[in-house]
A and B are shown apart, each in its own frame.
Chain A
Amino acid sequence: QVQLVESGGGVVQPGRSLRLSCAASGFTFSSFAIHWVRQAPGKGLEWVAVISYDGSNNYYADSVKGRFTISRDNSKNTLYLQMNSLRVEDTAVYYCAREGWGYDSSGYYRNSGFDYWGQGTLVTVSS
């Protein structure tokens, strides 16, 4: 079955760095774009970044651009998020999520939302 398992979260001081990992199994990892989504305590969902299936394209939320880097190693079925210059407001549960594909009501095969998610890893930025 499809599984995404995040790791690497923890408590870190402002200005420091942390790298999250997301280990994938149960599907052909190299065929899917993967996203990072975060959720601050008691708040809603915030999209963070995406990387294309082959790693050739990536996009970031303005709130993390220039500080976070998304990458992947398709040989290891693993996604990464390198987080530098961390801020208190980066405190959140970080989820990785697969962008799926499916048929819409008109019969077109297209992106179908985030169909599988990891369990999340908590990052706390605090002095």
Chain B
Amino acid sequence: DIQMTQSPSSLSASVGDRVTITCRASQSISSYLNWYQQKPGKAPKLLIYAASSFQSGVPSRFSGSGSGTDFTLTISSLQPEDFATYYCQQSYRTPYTFGQGTKLEIK
């Protein structure tokens, strides 16, 4: 199975900050990498697919990059509604494994 490792596991930041979350795959997954946002008690929401493509309706402050084994999700200017947990996921091969999550908290 392909292991997905996110860092950091948690992060404290302020409104307006630029934040980067990284995700590393245990083997090359080309650009088959997706990012999700999850708020407490809610289903995850797709933000970015294919490493850098925007899901419809997602604010442009979110961006993704990377290919192969190393990927990043960047939020250019944090807004209050962005405080949530973020997950990466590979869709290169089943099982479609998720990273362990990054909890973004208000400083």
Contact = CB atoms under 8 A, between A and B. Distances in A.
Contacts of A37: 44
Contacts of B97: 47
B44 A46 contact: no
A59 interface: yes
Given A47-B96, A59-B95, A117 B44 contact: yes
Contact of B50 (A46, A47, A60, A112): A112
Interface residues of B, number: 27
Interface string A88-115: 0000000101011011110000111111
B98 interface: yes
B72 interface: no
A103 B56 CA distance: 11
Interface residues of A, number: 29
A112 B55 CA distance: 8
A117 B89 CA distance: 15
Contacts, number: 83
A113 B46 contact: yes
Interface of A: 35, 37, 44-47, 50, 59-62, 95, 97, 99-100, 102-105, 110-115, 117-120
Given A50-B96, A102-B55, 5 more contacts: A44-B101, A95-B43, A112-B34, A114-B89, A117-B44
19 contacts: A37-B44, A44-B101, A45-B36, A50-B96, A59-B94, A60-B95, A97-B43, A102-B49, A104-B31, A104-B51, A112-B46, A113-B36, A113-B50, A114-B34, A114-B44, A114-B89, A117-B44, A118-B43, A119-B43
